[in-house]
C-alpha cells in the first residue's frame, strides 16, 4: 500500500485544478462586485442608447437649455445647467469623500473612516433632495410619465417644429433613467449607513480589514460615473 508524504499533499494542493490562490490575486467579494457593476452597466447602456436613438432620429426634440433653465423655486428662467451643475458637484464631492474613507480604511483609522462615510452619506442625501426638487419643478411645469406641458413653445427653440410625441418620449425616458439612477444612489446611501454602523461597532477593526469599505466604494464610484453619462445625454446634448 503506497503512502503519501506531506510534501506530496502540498504539491497536489498547488496544482491548477486544486484551487489555491486566486489567479486574479483579488478577493472573491471584490470580483463579484465588479461582475455586478458590469451587468448594471449593460442596463444603463441599453437605456441611454435607446434615448440616443430616439433623440437623433427625431426631427424635433425639447431643448435642454430651455427645459432645465431654472433653479427650482428660486430662479424660474435664464439659468441653464446651474442647478444640475450643483447636483453634479455634490455627487462628485461625495465620491471624493468615499475615496478618503477607503484610504483611511487602508490605514485602519476607524474614526476617520466613520467621518468620511458620514460626509458621503450626507452628499448622497443632498443629491437625492436636489433630484426631488427638480422632479417636483418639472411635474409642476407639466412634465411627467404620460403627460406633457400644454404649451410646448417655451421648450423648443424658435423655428423648430413642435412635437408632443417627442416631448412625451423625452419625459418618459428622462424620468425613467434619472429615476433608475436615483434608486441606485438611494441604495448606495442605505448600504453606506449599514457600513457606517459596522465601522462604529468596530466590526472591521476586529476582522483586521476594511476591505468592505473598498467594495462599497466601487459601487459608489460607479453611480457617479453613470451620472456623468446621464448628465451628458440629457443636459448637454
Has residue 107 been placed in a domain? yes
Has residue 49 been placed in a domain? no
Domain that residue 199 falls in: 61-139+178-236
Domain count for the chain, please give it. Answer: 1
Spatial separation of the C-alpha atoms in residues 138 and 148, rounded to whole Å: 10
Cell of 85: 451643475
pTM score, whole prediction: 0.88
Cell of 163: 412635437
Has residue 192 been placed in a domain? yes
Mean pLDDT of the chain: 90
Spatial separation of the C-alpha atoms in residues 224 and 94, rounded to whole Å: 9
Has residue 55 been placed in a domain? no
pLDDT in tens, 129-171: 999 999 999 999 999 999 999 999 999 999 899 999 999 999 9
Cell of 178: 434619472
Cell of 214: 473598498
Has residue 146 been placed in a domain? no
Q: Is the pLDDT of residue 4 over 50?
A: no
Has residue 150 been placed in a domain? no
* Secondary structure string (H, E, C) spanning 211-231: HHHHHHHHHHHHHHHHHHHHH
Has residue 128 been placed in a domain? yes
Query: Read out DSSP for 55-119?
Result: HHH-S----HHHHT--BTTTB-SS-TTHHHHHHHHHHHHHHHHHHHHHHHHHTT-HHHHHHHHHH
pLDDT in tens, 18-60: 555 655 667 788 889 999 999 999 999 999 999 999 999 998 9
Has residue 173 been placed in a domain? no
Q: CATH number of the domain that 199 lies in?
A: 1.20.120.80
Amino acid at each position: 500500500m503506497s503512502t503519501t508524504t506531506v510534501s506530496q499533499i502540498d504539491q497536489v494542493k498547488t496544482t491548477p485544478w486544486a484551487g489555491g490562490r486566486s489567479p486574479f490575486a483579488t478577493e472573491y467579494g471584490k470580483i463579484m462586485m465588479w461582475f455586478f457593476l458590469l451587468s448594471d452597466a449593460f442596463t444603463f447602456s441599453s437605456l441611454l442608447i435607446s434615448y440616443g436613438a430616439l433623440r437623433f432620429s427625431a426631427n424635433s426634440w425639447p431643448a435642454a437649455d430651455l427645459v432645465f433653465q431654472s433653479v427650482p423655486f428660486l430662479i424660474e428662467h435664464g439659468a441653464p445647467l446651474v442647478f444640475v451643475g450643483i447636483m453634479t458637484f455634490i455627487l462628485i464631492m461625495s465620491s471624493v469623500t468615499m475615496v478618503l474613507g477607503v484610504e483611511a480604511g487602508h490605514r485602519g483609522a476607524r474614526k476617520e473612516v466613520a467621518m468620511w462615510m458620514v460626509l458621503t452619506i450626507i452628499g448622497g442625501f443632498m443629491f437625492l433632495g436636489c433630484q426631488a426638487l427638480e422632479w417636483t419643478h418639472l411635474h409642476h411645469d407639466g412634465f411627467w410619465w404620460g403627460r406633457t406641458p400644454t404649451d410646448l413653445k417655451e421648450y423648443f427653440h424658435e423655428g423648430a417644429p413642435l412635437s408632443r410625441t417627442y416631448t412625451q418620449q423625452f419625459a418618459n425616458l428622462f424620468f425613467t433613467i434619472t429615476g433608475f439612477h436615483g434608486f441606485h444612489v438611494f441604495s448606495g446611501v442605505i448600504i453606506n449607513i449599514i457600513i457606517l454602523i459596522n465601522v462604529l461597532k468596530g466590526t472591521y477593526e476586529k476582522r483586521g480589514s476594511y476591505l468592505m469599505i473598498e467594495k462599497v466604494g466601487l459601487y459608489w464610484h460607479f453611480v457617479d460615473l453613470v451620472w456623468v453619462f446621464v448628465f451628458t445625454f440629457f443636459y448637454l446634448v
